[in-house]
Structures are given as structure tokens and as C-alpha cells.
Amino acid sequence: MDIRSRTLVLLAAVAFAFVPAAAVADTPPVPDSMASMGDSITRGFNACGFYVDCTSRSWSTGSNTTVKSHYLRIRTANPSLVAYNDGKSGAKVADMPGQAGQAVSQGADYVTILIGANDACTSSEAGMTSVADFESRFRTAIGTLTTGLPGVAIFVASIPDIKRLWQVGKDSSSARSTWAALSVCQSMLARPQSTDAADVARRDRVRQRVVDFNAVMARVCGEQANCRYDGGAVFGYPFAVSEVSTWDYFHPNATGQRLLAQITYPTGFGW
């Protein structure tokens, strides 16, 4: 090797030594503990009974083998994995900093987050969380995790496309009557069969708010070396009404929970 070649090799080695750690971060080790943050979807609400949480069928930390959650998939690599479900039915992004604090207190190595449906699914369009507030709260939660748990692996799932829910349910009399009786996601689902311009525009604006929330989560997650966003996999999945609970025609049933796990796990860390 001549002098010029040796010099180039030396310079390359020096340059590599000064690459920021985030740019060359490897896949984190298989976790010993995990925690899930989120709302009723992560709690498995209505997945095994009328208006009750069913955490055993959670896509994230569930123990039911029919769902094949992240927890069960990771256990094939680490049978000693411990899981905590810190989600809360009805939660919004405003609850995420508090749930992040719980995950920190539990010493979680891996944290999943699925949040935002309740920030868009409100009693009226005017009640939706603003994009700026969503970003502020979400950013605080991520900061709590990364500060309290250095090196923690974070997985962020996109919010489902709630307009898809309207599309697959609007022609079902059972879905329409349930949405009305239980006041389900009226920002999107009010007057489900209306073709009035005002209702069409309202649905499009609510969907856009979900798109904006997902963009926030993708951006904030992308700032962290050990955070993975699903790339819009959940939002883009064309779910069917058969994958939704007939108790409320809103929450995923056991099949829906299984599909959530199946869709999201490959977009994460590959343990």
C-alpha cells in the first residue's frame, strides 16, 4: 500500500470515529422489560367483552396466543420478558407524559406508543386537539422517556384512518345505530350517510387532522436514534368491518388486535 492509500485509510478511520453515535446506532439489545402507552386500543377495549378492557388481547403487551402481540413475539428471544400495560381507555396525547413517567418508573427497555384517535375522535370537529398542542405533548412524552431511560427502544404506531371506519360502516344499519346511540367519534361519524358538501368537507378535515398527527409523531420519533415509527402502516391498512368490535363498531376486536400486531412488529426493531 502506497503512502497516499495509507493516508486515505487513516483519514477514513478518523472520520468514522467522529460520526455521531445516533448515525451508527445498532439495533438495541433484546429487552428484559417493556411497557405500552396509549388509549383503549392498547388496552384491548371491547376485544373480549362488552365495554371492558381486555389487556390479554392487546396488540402490544397481550398474553393471548391468538393475538401474537409484540410481547409474545419478543418472548421467543427472551422468555423472561416482563410487560406492563400503562395505557388508559379514553386517553389523549395529553396523558402521554404521565404514562411515560410510569414507564420510566418501571425501568422499561422497550416502549410502544399508539395514541391520537381520541384527539381526533371527539363529540364535534371543534373539540379536536390542535396539531401544535399534539406536538408539544408528544414531544414532552418522548423527552421523558429518553431522559429517564437512556437507550430505551421506542416504537410509535400511526393512528388508524378513521375515515376508513366511516367508509366500511356507513352502509351498515347496526353500525350507524350504534354510533348514534353511543355517540361514537361524532367528529367523523355524525350523519354517516349524508352526502351534503358540509359533511363531506368535515370528514376530510378530520382525516387530515389524523394525517397531521401522524406526521408529528414521525418527525419527533425520527429525531431519536432508538425510535421507530411504523411508516404509516396502521394508517394505510384497509381494515374491514369484520375486524372491528360489534359492541361499538369502533375498537378492534381480537382479529383486529392480531392484525395490529402483525402489521406493526415488522416495522420495529426485528428482535
Mean pLDDT of 183-203: 98
Mean pLDDT of 133-144: 98
pLDDT attached to residue 9: 35
pLDDT of 7 higher than 70: no
pLDDT attached to residue 4: 39
Query: Where does the pLDDT of residue 12 fall: very low under 50, low under 70, confident under 90, or very high at 90 and above?
Result: very low
Chain mean pLDDT for the chain: 92
pLDDT attached to residue 8: 36
> Residue 42 has which C-alpha cell?
392498547
Mean pLDDT of 177-186: 98
Mean pLDDT of 212-239: 98
Contacts of 136 (CB under 8 A, 6+ apart): none
Q: What percent of the chain has pLDDT over 90?
A: 89
12-21, 106-115, 118-127, 155-164: least confident range: 12-21
Domain ranges of the chain: 27-267
pLDDT attached to residue 26: 76
Phi, psi (rounded to 5 degrees) for 197: -55, -35
C-alpha torsion angle, residues 137, 233, 107, 22 (rounded to 10): -80
Mean pLDDT of 179-200: 98
Nearest of 159, 269, 166, 267 to residue 214 by alpha carbon: 159
16-30, 84-98, 107-121, 168-182: least confident range: 16-30
Q: Which residue has the higher pLDDT, 131 or 27?
A: 131
Query: Where does the pLDDT of residue 25 fall: very low under 50, low under 70, confident under 90, or very high at 90 and above?
Result: low
> Residue 10 has which C-alpha cell?
487513516
pLDDT attached to residue 198: 98
Give the CATH number of domain 27-267.
3.40.50.1110
pLDDT attached to residue 145: 98
Task: Output the pTM of the full model.
Answer: 0.90
